Amino acid sequence: MEIDARLEKGIELFNRGEFFEAHEAIEELWRETDGELKNFYRGLIQTAASLHHLKRGTIKGGLSVCDAAVYLLKPYAPHALGLNVEKLINDLTLCFVPFREEPKQKFDSKNLQFPKIEFNL
């Protein structure tokens, strides 16, 4: 199965922790897509956006976008287009757990374990 180069680039950027750039790479593909994959791409964009918020320390925004991302990605689990969607959802959810439990805790993005997108054709 061949995937769009913009998705491949977005995954590469995402896995390097360049979440804003990953969002931008996938957004163009999302805008051009109609049909069943549109919400999948939107979920990936929201995932990247939530982690961008978290990395910048905007916890409230990150939590909100995280919830939207999970909602959009769930129908595509466990796998879509070679991506391990189930693992991404689980890892994203775990990344935000400390901030749900204690939203006003001290924040240091260097101590966070950001999710990666597992991609296999």
Overall residue count recorded for the chain in this entry: 121
Kindly indicate the confidence band of residue 1, based on its pLDDT and cuts at 50, 70 and 90: low
Domain spans, the chain? 5-102
pLDDT digits (tens, 9 = 90+) for 10-34: 999 999 999 999 999 999 999 999 9
Q: Is 40 helix (H, G, I), strand (E, B) or coil?
A: helix
**What is residue 24's predicted lDDT score, i.e. its pLDDT?**
97
89 touches 74 (CB < 8 A):
yes
Cα dihedral value 104, 44, 82, 95, nearest 10? 0
Nearest to 59 by CA among 112, 116, 14, 16: 112
| CATH tag, 5-102 | 1.10.3450.10
